[in-house]
């Protein structure tokens, strides 16, 4: 590889004005009273090829780590996938509302006891009242428990429930006293370290982290429970049932549908921040400067050699300080009314990559100051991101009020979207979120033959209602 050094020559520079610095990863913006210059770093030529980048492996069980006697199966490559999804969704302006609306649609009129009745080829839910069962449900605030389960499911498509047996467990009293919701982001599945289950990737226990989400660092901050055994439900006094969607090719945990839209979520989140910065700071972005990563890599090595010669420890902040000084000089040259006669000079890097000779150097691009086009472009990106977010959440745009015009869809479109949702999108989520409570009902009240589910009544068109029953007249 043949390269030449990149150099700067600043001619006729003036005193620098005070700058405000905005930084996001490797992107930096320097702002003064006359304008702004943004900077980004391009990868080295050999890394700038069309081959796809390696993404997360999803083979999470290959990264098992131990705490005490247990091998924990991590959730995500960094064991922090629930935290990533939580943070991206929570920072977004539309996703939390869509997920709440989705939860409310599934909740309907709330959880009700029912029996299934067959009428021809139809399955009818016949609502029932059982005082003894209702008293047991109220003893552990079952509605709050189910609301929490729905929230977890909509974010991560999994639910964890601690099943506690009654006080007579040790003398053979077979009774489930209560169900306790465990936050899914604090739960990891595990097996005894070195066991066959560990080696085969079959979880037998659950670790509940009481202090942090990503790092399960000490036994005193973690509680270990056995996984609930449906074939022997009274085997343990306290056990956890982990119910979740199966994800193709993913062991143990669920890769939620919203994972594929995380980048769209970030774009949707970034748009209002960009517009806020534009209006709050009145940023007049004049230039965008791209620098090659190879320059900073070589400068880092030079600084390390200087530190070694002086007998001091190299710190990455040294490179960051140098980088900021360089950007300040460039901004001083490019900004202001006094820049007449200034000159900035760089030398390109030539990289021989196989049979291709690549030129990779500094570039300066002037930014068109058409504010209207800039804002319109940001809004268009935001609209497309909103559609992607709605699709990943699984909520029709008519139900999420995500329309191109920004207005609500027609009543008939919302009606059909709602009816389609009720017939196609609630059965499996209900099955997963109520699995623990229906298991407990079957064990505690086997003769009752009842289940619990979310009650829904189909919405009727207003023209099909009598005048007195229409919403407008209520």
pLDDT tens, position by position, 95-119: 888 888 888 888 888 999 999 888 8
**pLDDT of 128-145, one tens digit each?**
999 999 999 999 999 999
Higher-pLDDT residue of 393 and 224 is 224
Both tokens of 271, joined, read 């748009």
Give the position of tokens 């009242």.
129
Q: Is the pLDDT of residue 37 over 90?
A: no
Q: 10 Å Cβ neighbour count for 420?
A: 13
Which pLDDT does position 144 carry in this prediction? 96
Q: Which helix (H) or strand (E) holds 95?
A: helix 95-107
Q: 10 Å Cβ neighbour count for 173?
A: 12
C-beta pairs of 413-422 under 8 Å, 24+ apart in sequence: 415/459, 415/461, 418/105, 418/459, 419/458, 419/459, 420/396, 421/105, 421/395, 421/396, 422/105, 422/456, 422/458
pLDDT band at 13 (very low <50, low <70, confident <90, very high): very low
Q: Is the pLDDT of residue 3 over 60?
A: no
Which pLDDT does position 84 carry in this prediction? 87
Which pLDDT does position 129 carry in this prediction? 92
Q: What percent of the chain has pLDDT over 90?
A: 23
Q: 10 Å Cβ neighbour count for 462?
A: 15
**pLDDT of 419-449, one tens digit each?**
766 666 678 889 999 999 999 999 999 999 8
Which pLDDT does position 24 carry in this prediction? 59
Q: Is the pLDDT of residue 391 over 80?
A: no
Which pLDDT does position 1 carry in this prediction? 37
Least confidently predicted of 81-90, 239-248, 275-284, 415-424? 275-284
The mean pLDDT value for 213-241 works out to 81
* DSSP state for residue 51 in the 8-state scheme: S
Which pLDDT does position 371 carry in this prediction? 66
The mean pLDDT value for 375-392 works out to 77
What are the start-end ranges of the H helices in 201-292? 262-281
Cα–Cα distance, 441 to 36 (Å, whole number): 65
Q: C-alpha distances in angstroms, 202 versus 79, 99, 176, 199, 231?
A: 17, 31, 26, 8, 16
Q: Is the pLDDT of residue 405 over 60?
A: no
pLDDT band at 452 (very low <50, low <70, confident <90, very high): very high
Which pLDDT does position 203 carry in this prediction? 92
Does residue 400 contact residue 98 with C-beta atoms inside 8 Å?
A: yes
The mean pLDDT value for 164-183 works out to 86
pLDDT band at 354 (very low <50, low <70, confident <90, very high): very low
């Amino acid at each position: 590889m043949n390269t030449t050094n990149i150099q700067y020559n600043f001619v006729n520079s003036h005193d620098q004005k005070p700058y405000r610095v905005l930084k996001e990863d490797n992107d930096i913006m320097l702002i003064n009273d006359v304008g702004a210059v943004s900077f980004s770093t391009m990868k080295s030529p050999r890394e700038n090829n069309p081959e796809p980048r390696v993404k997360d492996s999803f083979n999470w069980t290959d990264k098992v780590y131990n705490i005490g006697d247990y091998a924990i199966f991590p959730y995500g490559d960094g064991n922090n996938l629930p935290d990533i999804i939580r943070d991206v969704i929570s920072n977004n302006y539309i996703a939390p509302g869509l997920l709440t609306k989705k939860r409310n649609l599934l909740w309907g009129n709330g959880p009700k006891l029912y029996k299934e009745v067959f009428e021809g080829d139809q399955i009818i839910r016949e609502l029932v009242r059982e005082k003894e069962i209702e008293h047991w449900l109220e003893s552990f605030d079952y509605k709050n428990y189910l609301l929490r389960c729905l929230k977890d499911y909509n974010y991560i498509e999994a639910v964890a429930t601690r099943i506690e047996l009654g006080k007579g467990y040790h003398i053979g009293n077979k009774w489930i006293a209560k169900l306790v919701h465990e936050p899914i982001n604090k739960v990891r599945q595990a097996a005894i370290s070195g066991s066959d289950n560990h080696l085969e990737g079959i979880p037998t226990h659950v670790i509940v982290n009481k202090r942090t989400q990503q790092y399960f660092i000490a036994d005193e901050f973690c509680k270990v429970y056995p996984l609930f055994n449906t074939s022997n439900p009274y085997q343990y006094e306290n056990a956890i049932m982990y119910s979740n969607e199966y994800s193709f090719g993913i062991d143990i945990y669920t890769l939620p549908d919203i994972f594929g839209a995380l980048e769209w979520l970030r774009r949707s989140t970034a748009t209002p921040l960009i517009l806020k910065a534009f209006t709050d700071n009145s940023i007049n972005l004049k230039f965008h400067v791209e620098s090659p990563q190879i320059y900073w890599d070589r400068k880092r090595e030079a600084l390390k050699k200087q530190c070694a010669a002086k007998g001091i420890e190299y710190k990455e902040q040294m490179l960051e300080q140098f980088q900021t000084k360089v950007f300040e000089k460039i901004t001083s040259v490019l900004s202001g009314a006094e820049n007449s006669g200034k000159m900035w000079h760089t030398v390109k890097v030539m990289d021989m990559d196989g049979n291709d000779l690549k030129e990779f150097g500094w570039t300066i691009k002037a930014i068109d100051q058409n504010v209207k086009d800039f804002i319109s472009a940001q809004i268009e990106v935001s609209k497309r991101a909103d559609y992607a977010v709605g699709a990943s959440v699984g909520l029709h745009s008519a139900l999420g009020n995500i329309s191109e015009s920004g207005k609500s869809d027609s009543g008939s479109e919302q009606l059909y979207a709602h009816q389609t949702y009720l017939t196609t999108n609630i059965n499996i989520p209900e099955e997963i979120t109520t699995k623990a409570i229906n298991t407990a009902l079957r064990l505690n009240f086997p003769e009752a033959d009842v289940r619990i589910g979310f009650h829904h009544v189909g919405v009727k068109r207003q023209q099909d209602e009598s005048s007195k029953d229409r919403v407008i007249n209520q």
